[in-house]
Amino acid sequence: MKHTKLFFLLMLFLGLTSCTLRQSAPAPESIEIPIEKEMIRPSLSSRPASPRPTLVLQSLPEGWNVDRHPVAKWGMSLPNVMSNVIDSAQTVEYWEEVIDVPTGYKLTLKRSKVLFQIITRLTIETVELHFVNVDHVYSPTNHEPSHYIMHGVVRTVELKPTGFPQLTADDVIKYKFLMEYGTPKEFSDGFHHYQNEQTVLKVRELDKSHVQIQMTSTLVDQKLQTAINDMYSEEGIEYQKKLLLRSIDI
């Protein structure tokens, strides 16, 4: 009987213990793994790159300009130019230049120039306007002032003292020529050389306060060369002889 009770109590104790262990067993933890969402970045709208500002270059002067207005254009006759600048112009100077032509003849060219001065707040400028008589090559009777046409300009600019900052000849060449007319065709003998179909322009620094500008007309040069070829080339000489022979009645 005692053994039966003992067995029964032992079984009851084991049953209670197993229930207690089942209840106290920890529940399995659920771990949530965060899923990274794909980051969608707003696409940047592609804007067209703004074009860089282009430097607009100026054309070479076709003669002598004042405040960008033509006063003495290439090929203009001496009287017409004088009527434009008579207030400041001095007397006209005439001279002769003797040149050798390829056929062995000596040719006398008739030239003239007008010299005057312009004074401004910042500069003292000396201007020479040069003329050539192309018609005189064809006939010595063409000697009137109206036969002299505008051919070249020589300008010498002196910079006045301005205190601070003081302008220099290098400033004038940089800002008034290199940045306005672009890269020179060449640089030789101290001159920056520019050229187009109308004008040959050369500029140089004489010293820190003086700049010299020389310009000539390519068209007047061509006109003069044509006249020389017409009269003093071998073909031109033969033609002149034929004209003279027409006056001989044999």
DSSP string computed for 52-67: PPPP-PPPPPSEEEET
Residue 73 predicted with pLDDT over 50? yes
Strand positions, DSSP E, 41-122: 63-66, 69-73, 92-100, 106-119
Residue 11 has what pLDDT? 63
Residue 189 predicted with pLDDT over 70? yes
> Residue range 217-229: average pLDDT?
96
| Identity of the amino acid at 141 | T
Residue 116 predicted with pLDDT over 60? yes
Residue 243 has what pLDDT? 87
> Residue range 194-203: average pLDDT?
96
Top pLDDT among 18 and 83 is at 83
Could you give the angle at which helices 234-245 and 218-232 cross, rounded to 10 degrees? 50
Top pLDDT among 200 and 89 is at 200
Residue 9 has what pLDDT? 57
Local confidence band at 206 (pLDDT 50, 70, 90 cut-offs): very high
Residue found under tokens 């004042």: 66
Residues in Cβ contact with 153 at an 8 Å cutoff, skipping those fewer than 6 apart = 63, 64, 72, 127, 128, 129, 130, 213, 214, 215
> Residue range 106-128: average pLDDT?
94
Alpha carbon distance 107, 110 (integer Å): 10
Alpha carbon distance 210, 169 (integer Å): 6
- Where do runs of H (alpha helix) occur along 25-159? 78-85, 135-138
Contact predicate 83/145, CB 8 Å: no
Residue 18 has what pLDDT? 54
> Residue range 234-250: average pLDDT?
88
> Residue range 229-243: average pLDDT?
91
Tell me how crowded residue 123 is: count the other CB atoms within 10 A of its CB.
15
pLDDT in tens, 14-68: 555 555 545 554 554 544 555 455 555 555 555 666 666 566 888 999 999 888 7
Tell me how crowded residue 134 is: count the other CB atoms within 10 A of its CB.
22
Residue 136 has what pLDDT? 96
> Residue range 95-109: average pLDDT?
93
Tell me how crowded residue 159 is: count the other CB atoms within 10 A of its CB.
19
Question: Can you read off the two tokens belonging to residue 171?
Answer: 């400033």
Question: Can you read off the two tokens belonging to residue 38?
Answer: 């794909």
Residue 75 predicted with pLDDT over 80? yes
Question: What's the predicted TM-score (pTM) here?
Answer: 0.74
Rounded to 5 degrees, what are φ and ψ at 29? Answer: -80, 140
* Mean pLDDT of the chain, nearest integer: 84
Local confidence band at 90 (pLDDT 50, 70, 90 cut-offs): confident
Distant-in-sequence contacts of 20-26, Cβ < 8 A, 24+ apart: none
Residue 3 predicted with pLDDT over 60? no
Report the candidate in 154, 155, 145 with the shortest Cα–Cα distance to residue 92. Answer: 145
pLDDT in tens, 135-176: 999 999 999 999 999 999 999 999 999 889 999 999 999 999
Residue 56 has what pLDDT? 80
